[in-house]
Amino acid sequence: MSRAVLSLGSNLGDRLEHLRLAARGLSEVLLASSSVYETAPWGVTDQPDFLNAVLLVESAADDEWDWLRRAQRLEQEAERRRERRWGPRTLDVDVVTVDEVYSREPELLLPHPGTPERATVLIPWLEIEPEATLPGHGAVSELLAALPEAETAGVRLRPDLALR
């Protein structure tokens, strides 16, 4: 059995539909899905706001590479084009963690290295798993508490939007 945390992001086209496409594609392995958040862009800041959400998924059959393949298949279904790093995209699906797996393979870094600094991942993750820990980094709630106010202020709940 393997359990993974996946983060979803979209800032091009029908953003909510892209996140829903991912949730639908994972429906048979989906344990929990967060609310949808509207978030100010980090990294490249001159681009439209994102919608972000986090999913908790579990399956007997999948290992960490299977989760990466599933993530990439969903990005292809949303016709994601690879353009500039951290630039606009129809759908980004990152594998945040898979159980306690630690990987330094460039094609699959686990836990995903950006996670401790990303309020756009930590806030929705905590919503669905309040006791979550990030392997090698400790409690997700403490990582979030350590972030500057400016990072968390850019993440706004959108109760009018739902993944399913």
- Do the Cβ atoms of 50 and 7 come closer than 8 Å? no
DSSP H/E element including 105: strand 103-105
Spatial separation of the C-alpha atoms in residues 67 and 92, rounded to whole Å:
14
User: Which of 32, 101, 109, 147 is in the footprint of ligand ATP by CB under 6 A?
Assistant: 109
User: Which of 86, 142, 145, 156 is in the footprint of ligand PH2 by CB under 6 A?
Assistant: 86
Could you give the angle at which helices 15-25 and 64-77 cross, rounded to 10 degrees? Answer: 140
Name the token pair of 57.
Answer: 């998924």
Pick 70 or 159: Cβ nearer ligand ATP? 70
User: Which of 46, 107, 131, 160 is in the footprint of ligand ATP by CB under 6 A?
Assistant: 107
The count of residues interacting with ligand PH2 (CB under 6 A) is 11
Spatial separation of the C-alpha atoms in residues 37 and 19, rounded to whole Å:
11
The answer to the question of residue 34 lying near ligand PH2 (CB under 6 A) is: no
Pick 132 or 155: Cβ nearer ligand PH2? 155
User: Taking CB within 5 to 8 Å according to partner kind, which of ligand PH2, ligand ATP, none is near residue 95?
Assistant: ligand ATP
Pick 43 or 63: Cβ nearer ligand PH2? 43
Strand-strand pairing, 92-98 and 50-59: unpaired
Least distance between ligand PH2 and beta carbon 61 (Å): 27
**Residue position matching structure tokens 């630690």:** 102
Q: Which residues bind ligand PH2 (CB under 6 A)?
A: 9, 39-43, 50, 52, 86, 92, 120
